[in-house]
Structures are given as structure tokens and as C-alpha cells.
Chains A and B, each alone.
Chain A
Amino acid sequence: MYYAELLLIGLVWGCTYALMALGLTLVYGLLRILHVAQATVFTLGAYVGLLVANHTGSLALAFVAAAFAAGVLGPLIYRLVYQPILDKPPFIALVASIGVLIAMEDGFRLMFGPYGLSFASNPWFTSTYSIGGMTLNVVQLWMVAAAVVLLSAFALFAARTRAGVAWRATVSDPAMAESFGVGVIGVRYTNFLIASVLAGIAGVLVGLLNNLVEPGMGSVISYKGLAIIVLGGLGSVPGTLVASLVLGVVESYGTVFLDKVMDRDAIAFLFLIVVLMVRPRGLLGKAH
């Protein structure tokens, strides 16, 4: 029962990671950029969502506002930060992204204060739902539901829509896609839009989950997100999903059983390093 509960918790954590990591893998798959600044979009979504929720009392409106704000910021970061340096070595983009992250984190602190903000009304904060003796917080259930819905929507998008097909083509072979008339720029913006909306919604969900929105809330999840996309095999969407869930479970068991030996982040990264030593391309990575 205990072990089953740990597994369940790990899977829930994995869903949270998946929402963030998917965005990272989308950006990497298309542009080979480690978009650490995803954390900024995540945090902005959380702040906007919280402020709207506290002012209007409507969580639905909060999500819409968060998605909107994130959807604007993400592509904006692409346009202002990444697009001009696409031809440079990739670590330039990484360092620029880190610059954005550091600056915006301080920006959030200056705008909203260092203490963090809480939701005035967080209806499901302490509500629980029991499944066979194991309890899950209702917000966690929303998180899982959101992950499932959004990821399925994305899968449908990629498989069935014109834009989705164009996107897949551009990821696989940009030159070929362009020669077939695919608007590569449009694909890039769509890519960032999707990645950012996912992050923004995840931000509000995590904010509700913890009842706390703070300036630095995105960093840890963003750096772990990088570990996840590498673990899954850079650029592979299914790999990212598998890696997210696996990492969540590893952390869940690890934090209890390896407690005296190392802390949570070390467990995650040790797992990553071990996997990479055995499979240098990640769990489901393809050769480039």
C-alpha cells in the first residue's frame, strides 16, 4: 500500500514535470536550443493566473489569462532573444536563456515582492480524493487531467492538423520542409506558442497546488526539465513523457530511501548520469 502510494505520487509528480518538459523538448526538437527561460513563462503564467483569480474570483478566467500571457511572452522571447542568434553555437542561446531567467526572476521579485503570493480562494487546496486507501489532493488530480488532456490535444494536433504535420516536417528536416512550402517561421512561432501555453497553465496549476507563487518557482523545475529531456532523448516527445514519469517515480522512492545519502536533486541527476553512461542518447533518443 505504501509502495503503491509512492508510485502514484511519483506518477503525479511526473505529470507536472511532463507539462514543463514537453515545452522544452518542443523547442529543442525544432531549434536545438535549451530553453531554460521556459521557467520565466511558467512563473509569469502563475502570477497572472493568481492575480486574475484573486481579482475576479474566477479560476477559469485565471487559466485563460495565464495561457494568454504565457502565449505572448514565449514567442516574444523567441523573437527577441533566440531568433537573432540562431546561427551561433548553441551554448550562446543557453547562456542568453539563463540571462533571461536570472533577470526575470529578479524582475518578478521587484514587481511582486520577495515573499510570494497566495490565492485568496483556493477551493480544492485541501480537498482529497481517495482511491483504494490512497489519497490524492484534488488539485493533483486536475494536474494529471490537464497533463493528459493537453498532451493528447498536442498529439492530435501533430498527427491530424495541417499545422501539426508542417511542424513535424520542420522538426525532422527543416530544409526539406521549406522546399515543400512550409512556412518555417510560422512553425517556429506556433512551436513557442504551444510550449509557452503549456508552461503557463502548468504555472497556475503548480501555484494552486502549493498555494504559493514565488519569483523563483520556475528555476528548479526548469533545470530538472532539461535533465528530463536529455534523459528521454533530446527532441523526442515520447521520450520526454516517459522520462518525466520515470523521474517522478525515481524521486518519489529516492527521497524516502536515499534520504540519508543525498538530496532530491542529486537523486534526479544521479539517475540521469547513470542512464546516460549506459545509453548516451537517452532512453528513447535517436542518433543525429
Chain B
Amino acid sequence: METERLIRTLALDAGHRERPVGVALAVALLLAAPVSIALFMSILGMRPDVRTAMHNPFFDLKFVVTMALAIAGIIISLHLARPEASLRGWAWLLLIPVGLVLLGIAAEMMMPHQRPWLTRLIGNNAPACVSAIPLFSLPLLAAALLALRRGATARPALAGAVAGLLSAGLGATLYASHCTDDSPLFVATWYPLAIAMVTAVGAIAGRKMLRY
């Protein structure tokens, strides 16, 4: 086919409007959220003392940290969906949740009457944490990747990894409302392990799915 003809054909299709990637991602996450929530409610459910726990700042901090990760992931994902985008100037957003956990650890250190730090770090729910966060994240990750296929990223594996971070942030938010380990030391130890697994899956899937 001559290029001239292809151009004329493309011009005939000029009226077709594609949904912006941000809208597609929002719709995808809203559709996948009930799946993850249903998994969460049927397997774990919220901790019974959730009302009293809400008065504990270290319980609340978990949500601030996981939501900060999810929001940073969403912002970077949408940025990376553009062909000319790179991570430069945007990666610092991911330091926000890290900084928040470190602040939490410092604050907890200053509290009187603590259990030994190793007890707090190991906690009671480590195996559940490391398996449940990836489980609740996967439906969100699949939806996010499908939406991001509408984008045009120059870095498919990286974009997939960031999609992993955003879905792990959301999955961890669910899990955090079940888990009775509120110590920032626990959060800083086991959550990243679970998040790393989701990120790796995202990178591997993204490499294939996000090429354009």
C-alpha cells in the first residue's frame, strides 16, 4: 500500500475519539475494586475492634502510607503513558510513602512503655500480610494494565512495575483494615515484601502488555 493512501485512510478515521488514559484507568479501577473488596470481605474482613483502633494514630498511619503509595503510583502511571515521558522528575513521589513510614518509626521510638522492637517488627500477621496483599492487588493490577494499554509508554516494564505499585497500594489499604499489627516497624518490614511481589508481576506483565 502506498503511504499516501494510508494517510488518506487515517484522515477518514480522524473523527474517532479515544477515551483519555486517565478516564480509562479510573473506570478500570472502579470496576475492579468490588472484586478486591469482595475477596477481602470473604477471606479476612475488617478487624473487630476497628472503631477503637481508629483512635490509634499508628493504625491510621497505615492508610496514609498505603494511599500515598497508590496515589503516587496513579500519577506516575498516567505520566508514563505518554510516549515522550520518562521517570525523571517524578520518581520522588514514591519517596513520600517511604518518608511517612520512617516518620512513623521515629515517632513510635519516642513512645514510652513499648514492647521490644523485635516483637513489634515480627508481629502476628506476617504470613497473612505477605500473601493477602498480593491477592487483593491482582484484580486491580489486571484492570490497571488493561487500561494502560491505551497509553503509549516508551518503558513497558517500568510502566508495568508502577502499575504494580499502585495496585499494591490499594490492596494494602484493604489489608491494613484487617491487620492488628499497627507498628510502623511491621509495616516497614512486611508490606514492602508483599508490594515488591506485585511490582515484579506488574513489570513482567507490563513488558508484554504495554508495548504499542
The answer to whether A binds B is no
Residues of A that sit less than 8 Å from B by CB: none
* B interface list, Cβ under 8 A from A: none
